[in-house]
Amino acid sequence: MMARKKRSSGGSLARYKILIYIILALFGYFVYRCGGSAQADVAKIDKLEIPAAVQGGSHRLIAREGYTLLYNTERLIPDWVAYELTALETEGDEPRGEHFKKDPEILGLQAENDDYRNSGWDKGHMAPAADMKWSESAMDDCFYLTNICPQDHKLNTGTWKKLEEQCREYARYFGNLYIVCGPIVENNRYGTIGDNGVMVPDGFFKVLLAPYYGKYVGVGFLFENKKGGKKLVEHAVTVDEVERVTGLDFFPSLPDDVEKAVESAIDKSAWKL
């Protein structure tokens, strides 16, 4: 009787290692795409992205499906635009809008397309179209000129765009991301454009907040209204620093001790900076 050939234990071990590797790889991909573990044990706070809003006078608060903004009816640009971006929303397939238009919510003076024509400045989105692909109405709303600022072309298509793309990666990683952005007006060095006198910002800010392993982490970015540096880390600052420059109060719904910790330091490992 012929003896049965002995199985190779080395082959079984190799197959076992490959199976474990596949399982770990799939788990890592799931975590990166869904942010499941990164947002664990963090209590949901409604409208967490909304800064402390000054209303009345020249400030008009407008809430839309995809974002909320505070519009300045004297400067004819937003004071800030805020929204939450989830991992699921980054997967939308709504086509990009094509037409910038006046905002029906503003009955008085506001920016118009003619103000930007031949001005030398781009129509820079604050809430970008690529973040609104999850909804037809959200996409349509982001082309209102109340969501737009005069922006340097090289900044708009360069580092600012790079940060917008990075925010979508952050939303996929953390599961959800709270974003506030807008213009910085200090010396008004660039004046205004158009017959309506749309103010050209001196720079721009963006602050981000995300759940991360049972806590919140925050980071800010500051840009001059000109071509930015090649690396985002060159523009990264604490949220406290953005508050100092803008005079805004971000994430006021957080408990005071949490807000202080989030805004005073940058967790560079969380933000991959």
Q: What's the CA gap between 175 and 172, in Å, rounded?
A: 5
Q: Which of 59, 99, 125, 153 is catalytic?
A: 125
Q: What's the CA gap between 20 and 18, in Å, rounded?
A: 5
**Residues forming a β-bridge with 72:** 59, 77
Cβ atoms of 109 and 198 closer than 8 Å: no
**Residues forming a β-bridge with 209:** 178, 218
Q: What's the CA gap between 123 and 127, in Å, rounded?
A: 12
DSSP string, 167-216: HHHHHHHHSEEEEEEEEE-SS-TT-EETTTTEEPPSEEEEEEEEEETTEE
Q: What's the CA gap between 81 and 63, in Å, rounded?
A: 10
Cβ atoms of 194 and 18 closer than 8 Å: no
* Distance set, CA 20 to CA 16, 210, 234 (Å): 6, 30, 39
- 216-220: which pairs have CB atoms within 8 A and are 24 or more residues apart? 216/42, 216/254, 216/258, 216/262, 217/262, 217/267, 217/270, 217/271, 218/250, 218/251, 218/262, 218/263, 218/266, 219/266, 219/267, 219/271, 219/273
125 an active-site residue?
A: yes
Give the catalytic positions in this structure. Answer: 125
